[in-house]
Amino acid sequence: MNPVLVNRWRGNAIESRHRGAVAVTDAEGRLVLSLGDVRQGIFPRSAIKFLQAIPFVESGAIARFGLDERHVALACASHNGEPIHAGLASDWLERVGLDQDDLECGAELPMHKATQFELLGEGRGPQRVHHNCSGKHLGMLSSCLVREEPTRDYRRYGHPAQRRWFDVLESVGRARVMQLPWGYDGCAIPTLAIPLQRLALMMARFGEPARFEGARRGAVEAIHSAVATNPYLVAGKERLCTALMERLASRLLVKVGAEGVYAASATEHGLGIVLKIDDGSDVAARVALGAVLATLGLIDAEDQRALGEYFSPELTNSRGDAIGRSEPSSTWSSVEGTEEG
Amino acid sequence: MNPVLVNRWRGNAIESRHRGAVAVTDAEGRLVLSLGDVRQGIFPRSAIKFLQAIPFVESGAIARFGLDERHVALACASHNGEPIHAGLASDWLERVGLDQDDLECGAELPMHKATQFELLGEGRGPQRVHHNCSGKHLGMLSSCLVREEPTRDYRRYGHPAQRRWFDVLESVGRARVMQLPWGYDGCAIPTLAIPLQRLALMMARFGEPARFEGARRGAVEAIHSAVATNPYLVAGKERLCTALMERLASRLLVKVGAEGVYAASATEHGLGIVLKIDDGSDVAARVALGAVLATLGLIDAEDQRALGEYFSPELTNSRGDAIGRSEPSSTWSSVEGTEEG
């Protein structure tokens, strides 16, 4: 039974409660912080994108198509679909000689509400480049092109474009990924149900490029650099991943996943951090991530204040009055992080 | 610890889980079905609107302002903000001689997505009549006008417009409501944290107008009739409350509340039904309501099929492919309803 991690207060009572599990491990998979069932399989969804981008960077597509680190950041993104994101996706399609129909992620309105409303106000509708995963899909397509593989159906479980990142997980995480339960993700590629602690180990290892050799090492370094120097491309306006990486730069590489997931590498401490809210709440996942980072000493009181809209978000009514707040539960007061991490 | 009521399946694994509590009682508060902690206080939010409408109907505002049962249904609504809803709210404002600024619910875009997008496409923005609670606010305003009370700040905890429905709860539910924890709702009026079982008793009693006398009896009968004959006004397109009442008419008077709540009166069985999803998921609340109604024998297999989009909704990816489903958990297989209710 996973503990309550986050409470949503309304007035002087708790309105809703969010349970979940947290695993923080070192690169050997040793638990530094553990809450709830860390052996449960969770769908990381987009939280695994840094690892999924490795085969793209290793493929040589960057040199072949004249791409740069902005494209690498977009391959790791769950982006807002703002003009800067959709524009870069369109630019990338042009560079590789494909068009939107080749993206198999489906068309969506931009995730960012104001951008969405602006688009609708102009009488425009959903497009594939707006999909928050369009960069990941472009990365997969690009590596197919370099390898001269047919790109059609690259989204399927059995396609080499997917098998390549399965292999990365096998190798980085010493995981038997072909035995994992799986399903299709919102963007139509597979997502695997990975045990929480195992995924934390993968994130810890990803955080230390020096563990890898040759092309793999170069790819991991390139992703670190791309993400840390382009955090806006990884998410965008009013997004926690961007706000956190703008503050902490390469010290914390962090990625959200749908249905209440975060995965991060605390690079200086050699830690992998993964959390899943049982019920899939994204608001609760942000609050829980703040509590984990504070417990581990990876953020200070000033960071917590600056990121308060994510870590203890106010509840407002339709008039804009503050009427409550989501907060870490009392569970956290009894949690101790390991000092040296 | 409340049990898991609903699972969200993706592929061959559970992605997210929703816990919650259910209380079904007769009009004496005796439990006919009970899951989880039925003594916990929950914020019913909009699920309590049938009871909140009683003081409005009792006030004589209907005759005074030439209103009819459509306005009564709108007073009970969490409506979509479709033209039929917003138009009726505007009509009501005119009849009572007020304008939108007198509504203290704040401006919102229509809840119904397609309506919202259409509005944005026309370059229009949020309005107070679009707010899903605008009818409830109009009911409160109307009863203030009949009583010649100042309407300003009618939304506040201490205003007679609020005290009147507190009194209804005291009387219908034999509850000491002034001692309950409370907070402000999204629409800016108070919401009280009512124990689940107590709220079920109130809904059971509301379901039997013959229990009441005089004006109260007339008001409860008027609300039954208004809601059962105008279910579209109570919610709207693609909404479970409307779809259920269109099928079951006055046999089931049902109302959704934000953050995973349903309250209903099974009028022929003399039962009150209340459920709350711990984490506030609206999708899970719909699935759990289907499971409760099936367990109680209030809906049959054909109803379940017809309302499948609410009771076991498919998960689709951005291409429209089916990739999972939300379903009642195994908890329900061990739950038995009382045959005769």
pLDDT in tens, B230-277: 999 999 999 999 999 999 989 999 999 999 999 999 999 999 999 999
Query: Which residues of chain A, if any, have pLDDT below 50?
Result: 338-341
Kindly report the number of other CB atoms within 10 A of residue B238's CB atom: 13
Residue with tokens 């909704």: B313
> Does residue B320 sit at the A interface (CB-CB below 8 Å)?
yes
**Which residues, including other chains, have CB under 8 Å from residue A158's CB and lie 6 or more apart?**
none
Interval B152-170 mean pLDDT:
98
pLDDT of residue B339: 44
* Burial tier of B147 (Cβ tally within 10 Å: 0-12, 13-18, 19+): middle
B319 touching A (Cβ < 8 Å)? yes
Q: Is the pLDDT of residue B338 over 70?
A: no
Sorted by sequence, the CB contacts under 8 Å of residue A150 that are 6+ apart come out as A144
Whether residue B259 and residue A284 make contact (CB cut-off 8 A), yes or no, is: no
Segment (H or E) for B14 = strand B13-25
- Tell whether B321 is within 8 A of chain A (Cβ): yes
Q: Which band of pLDDT confidence, cut at 50, 70 and 90, is reported for residue B340?
A: very low
Residues 232-251 in A contacting B (C-alpha not used; CB under 8 Å) = none
Would the CB atoms of A318 and B131 count as touching at under 8 Å?
yes
Report pLDDT digits (tens) over B284-326: 999 999 999 999 999 999 999 999 999 999 999 999 999 999 9
Q: Enumerate the residues of chain A whose CB falls inside 8 A of the CB of residue B284.
A: 279
> Which residues on chain B are in Cβ contact (under 8 Å) with A182?
11-13
CB atoms within 10 A of CB B145: 18
Looking at the partner chain, which of B284, B318, B321 has a beta carbon nearest the beta carbon of A108?
A: B318
Record: contact B43-A185, CB cut-off 8 A: no
Q: Chain A residues with CB inside 8 Å of B108's CB?
A: 318
What DSSP state is assigned to residue B16? E
3-state secondary structure of B193: coil
Please name the residues between 44 and 103 in chain B that touch chain A, using a CB distance below 8 Å: none
Nearest alpha carbon to residue A200 among A308, A103, A87, A341 = A341
Element (H, E) at B15: strand B13-25
CA distance A91 to chain B (A): 22
Minimal Cα–Cα distance from B45 to chain A, Å?
Answer: 10
**Angstroms from B277 CA to nearest CA on chain A:** 8
3-state secondary structure at position B68: coil
Distance CA B321, CA A157 (A): 15
HEC sequence for chain A: CCCEEEEEEECCEEEEEEEEEEEEECCCCCEEEEECCCCCEECCHHHHHHHHCHHHHHCCHHHHHCCCHHHHHHHCCCCCCCHHHHHHHHHHHHHHCCCHHHCCCCCECCCCHHHHHHHHHCCCCCEHHHCCCHHHHHHHHHHHHHCCCCCCCCCCCCCHHHHHHHHHHHHHHCCCHHHCCEEECCCCCEEECEEHHHHHHHHHHHCCHHHCCHHHHHHHHHHHHHHHHCHHHHCCCCCHHHHHHHHHHHHEEEEEECCCEEEEEECCCCEEEEEEECCCCHHHHHHHHHHHHHHCCCCCHHHHHHCHHHHCCEEECCCCCEEEEEEECHHHHHCCCCCCC
Chain B residue with minimal CA distance to A3?
B1
| Alpha-carbon dihedral sign for residues B90, B95, B98, B102 | negative
Is residue B157 helix, strand or coil? Answer: coil
Instruction: Give every CB contact of residue B186 below 8 A, 6+ residues apart in sequence.
Output: A317, A318, B45, B133, B258
Query: Contacts of residue A183 in chain B, CB cutoff 8 Å?
Result: 9-13, 15, 323-324
| pTM of model > 0.80 | yes
At position A244, the amino acid (one-letter code) is L
Mean pLDDT, range B204-220, rounded to an integer = 97
Residues of chain B numbered 7-46 and touching chain A (CB < 8 Å): 8-13, 15-19, 41-43
- Of the two residues A186 and B337, the one the predictor is more confident about is A186
Tell me the C-alpha to C-alpha distance, in Å, between residue A192 and each of A33, A43, A56, A201, B283. Answer: 23, 6, 19, 16, 23
Q: Do A105 and B284 make contact, defined as CB atoms within 8 angstroms? A: no
Q: Is B229 helix (H, G, I), strand (E, B) or coil?
A: helix
Q: What span, in angstroms and rounded, lies between the C-alpha atoms of B102 and B142? A: 11
pLDDT of the residue at B337: 58
Q: Identify the residue among B184, B191, B326 best suited for mutation to test binding to A, counting A beta carbons within 10 A and taking the highest.
A: B184
Determine whether the interchain pair A41/B13 forms a contact, defined as Cβ–Cβ distance below 8 Å.
Answer: yes
* Residue in chain B nearest A323 by alpha carbon: B184
Element (H, E) at B327: strand B322-328
User: Are A16 and B260 an interchain contact pair (Cβ–Cβ within 8 Å)?
Assistant: yes
Q: In one letter, which amino acid is B265?
A: S
Residues of chain A contacting B187 with CB distance shorter than 8 Å: 317-318
Asked if B133 and B187 count as a contact pair (C-beta separation under 8 A), the reply is yes
Q: Which residues of B14-35 are buried (b: 16+ CB within 10 A; e: fewer)?
A: bbbbbbbbbbbbbbebeebbbb
Q: Which of residues 118-157 of A touch B (CB under 8 A)?
A: 120-121, 123, 131
Q: Work out the number of other CB atoms within 10 angstroms of the CB of residue B85.
A: 29
> Please, are residues B18 and B279 in contact by the beta-carbon 8 Å criterion?
yes
Nearest neighbour of B317 by CB, restricted to A106, A181, A321 = A106
Dist. CA A215–CA A217, nearest whole Å: 5
Q: Which residue in B222, B217, B155, B165 sits closest to B194, CA to CA?
A: B165
Shortest Cα–Cα distance, B107 to chain A (Å): 7
**What is the reported pLDDT for B292?**
98
Interhelix angle for A160-173 vs A134-146, to 10°?
100
Closest A-chain CA to B119: A121
Which among A120, A185, A279 is the nearest to B281, CB-wise? A279
- At residue A337, the pLDDT reads 58
SS3 content of chain B, % helix, strand, coil (to 5): 45, 20, 35
Residues of B in contact with A260 (CB under 8 A): 16
**Average pLDDT value for residue range B178-184:** 96
pLDDT one-digit tens code per residue, B21-33: 999 999 999 999 9
Query: Quick check: A108 and B188 CB within 8 A?
Result: no
Residue B221 tokens, joined: 């009968």
Q: Check if the beta carbon of residue A80 is closer than 8 Å to that of residue A237.
A: yes
Chain B closest-CA separation from residue A124 CA (Å): 8
- Min Cα distance A330 → chain B (Å) is 16
Within B150-307, residue ranges assigned H as helices are 160-173, 196-206, 214-229, 231-234, 240-248, 282-295, 301-306
**A284 Cβ under 8 Å from any chain B Cβ:** yes
d(CA A227, CA A223): 6
- Decide if A311 contacts A290 (C-beta within 8 A): yes
Q: Contact, B265 vs B211, CB < 8 A?
A: no
pLDDT digits (tens, 9 = 90+) for A285-308: 999 999 999 999 999 999 999 999
- Cross-chain CB nearest to A183 (options B1, B12, B184): B12
pLDDT score of A175: 84
